[in-house]
Amino acid sequence: MGRPWKYPAEFQSEAVGLVLTTDKPMAEVARDLGINYKTLGAWVRKEREQKTLDALPGALSEHERLELKWLRREVADLKVEREILRKAAA
């Protein structure tokens, strides 16, 4: 059985929690969980960056950032469609 391409979000958050709440080195936690320490390091770095972003005044939540990204993509698609319709009508 090979390794999963994507670990479940619950597993990721628990692994990051182990690193942040225990005195164990990241490499040891990764070894205990059977994952690459660089993968765990990326998760921890992402969590720390997220906490930094959330601490800023007026910061958007993770959900709000995802929604904003989706809305920007939707606006771009609609602009392309509008341009196509405008050219077809001419």
The pLDDT-based confidence of 57 (bands split at 50, 70, 90) is confident
Mean pLDDT of 64-83: 95
- Tell me what pLDDT residue 1 has: 45
- Tell me what pLDDT residue 80 has: 97
- Tell me what pLDDT residue 6 has: 83
In the chain, the amino acid numbered 29 is V
Mean pLDDT of 12-36: 91
Q: Rounded to two decimals, what is the model's pTM?
A: 0.58
Distances (CA, A) of 35 to 9, 17, 19, 78: 14, 15, 13, 42
**Which one is predicted more confidently, 32 or 90?**
32
Distances (CA, A) of 23 to 20, 29, 30, 34, 42: 8, 10, 13, 18, 18
Whether residue 75 is predicted with pLDDT greater than 50 in this model: the reply is yes
Rg over CA atoms, the chain:
20
The pLDDT-based confidence of 55 (bands split at 50, 70, 90) is confident
Report yes or no: 26 and 19 within 8 Å, Cβ to Cβ: yes
